[in-house]
């Protein structure tokens, strides 16, 4: 179980209104030289519904220049960070969502595409390292925690060395581009004993995003025409590829509960085979609580037994039907022999050895038992049988089938009595017709 493999269980979470959150997007324009640039590049945002989202774009150029570099030139960086209430939907319902996709437009001095680049990176809103690393103030105060002790250093090294990480793309700022995203949650198992047990597992929730982006290839010498004025340099349309949140939950393939289930299944098969071959004897209905109860629990249990069963009667199995059957510690052969002699003459039951004795009554008790008549012995047997029925009903069997049988017998008996008391009309008709014919002949 300690070295059991960890597997991912994949499932999806869908919001009731079928909307999805938007990701954080960092835009960095590369190739614009400040000394020769009249208008620095900037971004405007809107949705297909016409709702503006430009207020959620902040200029982070001064913050990221201390640790972010792509090709050594000055960068103009912007960060799109919307609140959790800003969501995209798959319908045109303007009440439930703000739109179906995002539209970003770039403005500024035109720079040939071979000298300019647009670097974009997608982040999950619930885990955006830019605020923690570059000291950017989050206006929505979304909590942030590093997933591991090495994540911070790995992120900064990737930023400084211009490593191509996931969800990072280079686009042409002078063309139209499209991008898609899907929100992902990863539930990673922690080092906890409960994860080996199989229930109440401890997991760390990790927020991720899967994205794709590309620049649309246009014909040579053909420029993209926009209806807005002033004309933007280029655009980026971002839409969700799925309106469900994909969740990957880690689960150990073998745990203590799974092992117990396998062992229990094998043990059950063995018991079933044994019962099939050699029969089955019901176990005691009492468990550990009944056997080892003490104090008030023990007194309550004994009181329940005394209140449900008759007092002063012979208890079956424990107390013998007659004193002559009170056989002590005998071997099976001696036991059969003594019982056989006791059927013929109770006085012949004598101990043959000190270690193998028979409980013998004194003369007064033996005489008293012999003086019992048949009615008393029959009454004692009836009491024992009644106690047997109560014990079986209380602990061993379900009396539903017996009640059904009793109802069926009473039902048949009632119908039989009704048929017996019903008048026999068919047997009286010939007699009446004979009298009527005889009376007519007399008149003639």
pLDDT digits (tens, 9 = 90+) for 368-379: 555 567 888 888
Residue 243 lies in a domain: yes
**Measured CA distances, 208 to 71, 175, 281, 399 (Å):** 27, 28, 59, 60
Residue 336 lies in a domain: yes
Q: Is the pLDDT of residue 93 over 50?
A: yes
Backbone angles phi, psi at 28, to 5 degrees: -130, 115
Give residue 212's pLDDT band: very low, low, confident or very high (50, 70, 90): very high
Lookup result for tokens 């246009």: 218
Backbone angles phi, psi at 355, to 5 degrees: -80, -15
Give residue 357's pLDDT band: very low, low, confident or very high (50, 70, 90): very low
Q: CB of 202 within 8 A of CB of 189?
A: yes
Residues 47 and 184 in one domain: yes
Residues 244 and 335 in one domain: no
Q: Is the pLDDT of residue 249 over 50?
A: yes
Residues 6+ apart with CB under 8 A from 378: none
**Distance of alpha carbon 271 from alpha carbon 285, whole angstroms:** 18
Backbone angles phi, psi at 59, to 5 degrees: -85, 115
168 or 414: which leads in pLDDT: 168
**Percentage of the chain lying above the pLDDT 70 cut:** 76
Residues 6+ apart with CB under 8 A from 396: 282, 285
Q: 78 pairs with which residues across the strands?
A: 27, 59
Residues 57 and 191 in one domain: yes
Neighbours of 173 (CB within 10 A): 26
Neighbours of 77 (CB within 10 A): 21
**Listed range (35-44, 99-108, 209-218, 350-359) with the worst mean pLDDT:** 350-359
pLDDT of residue 322: 67
Residue ranges of alpha helices (H) inside 54-150 are 61-64, 129-133
Q: Is the pLDDT of residue 207 over 90?
A: yes
Give residue 333's pLDDT band: very low, low, confident or very high (50, 70, 90): low
Residues 59 and 176 in one domain: yes
The two tokens of residue 400 are 């539903």
Give residue 269's pLDDT band: very low, low, confident or very high (50, 70, 90): very high
Q: 123 pairs with which residues across the strands?
A: 24
**Listed range (75-84, 270-279, 306-315) with the worst mean pLDDT:** 306-315
pLDDT of residue 362: 52
Mean pLDDT of 414-425: 72
Residues 45 and 145 in one domain: yes
Which of 252, 279, 311 is a domain's end point? 252
Residues 365 and 219 in one domain: no
Overall domain count for the chain: 2
**Distance of alpha carbon 203 from alpha carbon 197, whole angstroms:** 14
Mean pLDDT of 23-38: 87
Residues 333 and 198 in one domain: no
Q: CB of 211 within 8 A of CB of 122?
A: yes
Mean pLDDT of 164-178: 90
Residue 270 lies in a domain: no
Mean pLDDT of 228-255: 88
Residues in the chain: 444
Residue 438 lies in a domain: no
Mean pLDDT of 415-428: 66
Question: What's the mean per-residue pLDDT of the chain?
Answer: 79
Which of 327, 326, 322 lies closest to 376 in space, CA to CA?
Answer: 322
Backbone angles phi, psi at 106, to 5 degrees: -105, 140
Which of 252, 277, 312 is a domain's end point? 252
279 or 431: which leads in pLDDT: 279
Q: Indicate the SS3 state at residue 266.
A: helix
* 174-183, 268-277, 384-393: which is most confident: 174-183
Residues 161 and 27 in one domain: yes
Lookup result for tokens 């992120």: 155
pLDDT of residue 367: 52
pLDDT of residue 366: 52
Residues 21 and 123 in one domain: yes
pLDDT of residue 123: 97
Q: Indicate the SS3 state at residue 133.
A: helix
pLDDT of residue 150: 92
Residues 62 and 193 in one domain: yes
220 or 252: which leads in pLDDT: 252
Q: What is the dihedral of CA 160, 164, 166, 170, to 10 degrees?
A: 100
Residue 186 lies in a domain: yes
pLDDT of residue 359: 46
72 or 192: which leads in pLDDT: 192
Residue 269 lies in a domain: no
pLDDT of residue 302: 79
Residues 37 and 182 in one domain: yes
Residues 205 and 347 in one domain: no
pLDDT of residue 40: 86
Looking at residue 415, the DSSP 8-state letter turns out to be H
232 or 283: which leads in pLDDT: 232
Q: Is the pLDDT of residue 237 over 70?
A: yes
**Listed range (79-83, 113-117, 232-236, 439-443) with the worst mean pLDDT:** 439-443
Mean pLDDT of 103-125: 90
| Whole-structure pTM value | 0.64
293 or 442: which leads in pLDDT: 293
Q: CB of 136 within 8 A of CB of 79?
A: yes
Residue 1 lies in a domain: no
Q: Indicate the SS3 state at residue 317.
A: coil
pLDDT of residue 46: 95
What is the extent of the structural domain holding 334?
320-371
**Listed range (6-10, 29-33, 411-415) with the worst mean pLDDT:** 411-415
Report residue 245 CA to chain centroid gap. Answer: 19
Which of 309, 344, 371 is a domain's end point? 371
pLDDT of residue 226: 61
pLDDT of residue 28: 93
Q: CB of 329 within 8 A of CB of 355?
A: yes
**Distance of alpha carbon 218 from alpha carbon 198, whole angstroms:** 56
Residue 386 lies in a domain: no
**Distance of alpha carbon 163 from alpha carbon 140, whole angstroms:** 29
The two tokens of residue 201 are 């597992």
């Amino acid at each position: 179980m300690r070295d059991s493999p960890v597997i991912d269980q994949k499932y999806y979470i869908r919001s009731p209104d079928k909307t999805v959150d938007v990701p954080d997007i960092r835009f960095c324009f590369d190739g614009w030289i400040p000394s020769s640039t009249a208008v620095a590049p900037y971004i405007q945002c809107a949705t297909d519904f016409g709702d503006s989202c430009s207020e959620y774009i902040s200029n982070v150029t001064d913050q990221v220049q201390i640790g972010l570099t792509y090709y050594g030139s000055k960068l103009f960086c912007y960060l799109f960070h919307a609140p959790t209430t800003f969501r995209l939907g798959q319908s045109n319902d303007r009440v439930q969502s703000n739109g179906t996709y995002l539209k970003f437009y770039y403005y500024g001095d035109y720079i040939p595409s071979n000298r300019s680049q647009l670097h974009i990176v997608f982040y999950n809103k619930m885990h955006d390292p830019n605020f923690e690393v570059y000291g950017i103030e989050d206006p929505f105060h979304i909590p942030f925690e590093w997933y591991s002790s090495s994540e911070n250093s790995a992120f900064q090294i990737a930023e400084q060395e211009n490593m191509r990480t996931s969800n990072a793309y280079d686009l042409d700022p002078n063309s139209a581009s499209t991008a898609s995203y899907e929100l992902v949650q990863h539930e990673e198992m922690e080092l906890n004993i409960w994860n080996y047990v199989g229930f109440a597992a401890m997991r760390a929730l990790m927020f991720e995003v899967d994205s794709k982006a590309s620049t649309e290839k246009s014909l040579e010498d053909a420029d993209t025409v926009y209806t807005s004025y002033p004309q933007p340099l280029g655009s980026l349309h971002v839409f969700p590829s799925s309106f469900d949140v994909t969740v990957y939950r880690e689960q150990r393939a073998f745990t203590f509960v799974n092992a117990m289930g396998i062992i229990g299944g094998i043990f059950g098969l063995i018991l079933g085979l044994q019962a099939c071959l050699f029969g089955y004897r019901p176990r005691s209905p009492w468990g550990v609580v009944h056997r080892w109860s003490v104090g008030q629990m023990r007194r309550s249990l004994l009181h329940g037994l005394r209140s449900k069963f008759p007092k002063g009667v012979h208890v079956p199995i424990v107390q013998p039907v007659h004193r002559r059957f009170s056989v002590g510690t005998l071997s099976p052969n001696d036991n059969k022999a003594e019982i056989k002699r006791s059927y013929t003459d109770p006085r012949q039951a004598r101990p043959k050895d000190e270690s193998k004795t028979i409980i013998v009554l004194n003369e007064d008790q033996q005489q008293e038992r012999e003086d019992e008549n048949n009615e008393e012995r029959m009454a004692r047997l009836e009491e024992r049988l009644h106690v047997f029925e109560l014990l079986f009903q209380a602990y061993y069997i379900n009396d539903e089938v017996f009640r059904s049988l009793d109802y069926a017998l009473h039902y048949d008996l009632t119908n039989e009595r009704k048929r017996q008391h019903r008048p026999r009309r068919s047997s009286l008709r010939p007699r009446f017709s004979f009298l009527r014919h005889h009376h007519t002949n007399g008149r003639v």
